[in-house]
Chain A
Amino acid sequence: MTFLIALTLFVLAVFLGVELISKVPPTLHTPLMSGSNAISGITLIGAMVSAGSDHRTLTTTLAFAAVVLATVNVVGGFLVTNRMLSMFSSRTRKPAEQHD
């Protein structure tokens, strides 16, 4: 992949990100932040290649630490976001609760 293609992907994805997020209601700001934070743990896949490649001890050690940190970020991030979102409820969505 040439640098220009990589740059194209980057710029297009930034614009896409802005479009996707710009209308998010304040109620979802915290889950959005922790959910997107989990996605930024994508660096995990880079860490995996380096950690598994057996190049030399230094790089394997660095990459192993990266795998651990990124996995904490990914697993913790998605789990805690799910936990938060499971608490959001609306009576308009569950009409049965309206009469209590």
Chain B
Amino acid sequence: MDRADLIVLGYLVAAVFFILGLKGLARPRTARRGNLLGASGMLLAVLVTLIDQAIVSYWVLAAGLAVGAGIGTVLAVRVQMTSMPELVALFNGFGGAASVLVAGASFHEFVDLDLVDDQVSTAAAVTALIGAVTFTGSVIAFFKLKESLKWSGFGGIRVVNGALALTSLALGAMVIIDPSNTTWLWALVAVGAVLGLLAVVPIGGADMPVVIAILNSLSGLAASATGFVLDNTLLIIAGSLVGASGLILTQIMCVAMNRSAIAVIFSDAPSSSAGSIDADDVYAGRVTSSSPDEVAMILDTASRVVIVPGYGLAVAQAQHVVRELTNVLEKRGVEVVFGIHPVAGRMPGHMNVLLAEAEVDYELLLEMDVVNPTFAQTDVVIVIGANDVVNPLAETDPESPIAGMPILNVDHARTVVVIKRSLSPGFAGIPNPLFAADNALMLFGDGKQAVSDITKALAEV
């Protein structure tokens, strides 16, 4: 057996590690081990690659690995759990960019050695396009999630994107027809980069989980396409595993919003169509404002409480005070659970990670389908920083931009306490009749402050 065979066998073992790792990641009890298996597979893959005869200068490699590992470690250790969506977006982007660079470098090598065939040129073109879109799309998603980018595009941006997509197909064809001219490939990368940028710019807020899931899938597909360029089995397998998992998450997010991925990418942001209902008509004279003392009094007599968190929980960094409130309530014999909407937050599972950080038992975090039938037997629901996912208009107003989106039926509970800064609309840009409901109390203010005030007041009841 020569070195090349040994490497391929090593890759096979690494692929098995990845498969077992992903399998583990799908269950809470085995997830940590699954992640370690994945990391071991990666380490093995890197080690067997080192025996590749093509590698002659180890110093360049060592430098690159050391720099990358240093940056990666710092980012991973320092990130706050509330900023997890940004970091995942950034890592996605790096993966996409790396695939473009690898495909580009290899394509140049193949061209120099006159080894280009249709598979290489086609795969390089696909990698260039997907990788470039992934890179700039993820970078834009990163800045949007950090809320440091407010720009949401210009009129006709979808038309421009359509034109860019067609241009990229034409350039892709040129890469295959005329591979000896590497300019075509880099032109394709450039067009793909602009396309990724302009495609993500108009998307925001509650659509972000879908975008991140799509980018996640694309980063995997880019790696897989790179595998076709390099004839590398492990890249093909690992990349398509990730591509498939991103696809599933995209699907789950889309079902949770009753929108298709196409609609998220190609329709205008829902905030532009505010629906048929005016905010003043909904709220005028019907909104009841409350105080922490009053909420504490109501909680004092409750036997079942459901807490519904949204993105506002992350913004207010309120997860730890929510945990304290939960502790106090549980000590009083109150049953407390959390109702988590699938698209609450800015990435799939965002709320679960925040609450896990605050040491809330994950078994208390109930999915929408599980928690919805229980609201009728619930005394108090506390909604913290969530809006559209508890808006009854989704079920009652077919004209509404969120019509048909499954919601948490918090209005079925005896009392709903909504902690919110103001009556301003959520991402969908529509008023929420829940706030004016007879059984709803608004507690205006910062989520963290409000929750700790309730906890304090509860101690004095």
Binding site for B on A (CB under 8 A): 1, 3, 6, 9-11, 13-18, 20-56, 58-60, 62-93
Contact = CB atoms under 8 A, between A and B. Distances in A.
A3 B27 CA distance: 35
Contacts of B363: 90-92
Interface string B85-105: 001100110110111011011
B76 interface: yes
Give the size category of B's interface with A.
35 or more
Given A33-B216, A66-B105, A71 B72 contact: yes
A88 B223 contact: no
B342 A50 contact: no
A28 B349 contact: yes
Given A73-B95, A80-B76, A90-B361, A49 B54 contact: yes
B1 interface: no
Interface in B5-55: 18-19, 21-23, 25-29, 31-32, 34-36, 38-39, 41-42, 45-46, 49-50, 52, 54-55
B61 A9 contact: no
A21 B236 CA distance: 18
A48 B388 CA distance: 46
Contacts, number: 395
A51 B233 contact: no
Contacts of A41: 42, 91, 94-95, 98, 223
Contact of A87 (B238, B350, B357): B357
B60 interface: yes
Contacts of B88: 30, 33-34, 37
A6 B227 contact: yes
Contact of A46 (B60, B102, B241, B352): B102
B362 A18 contact: no
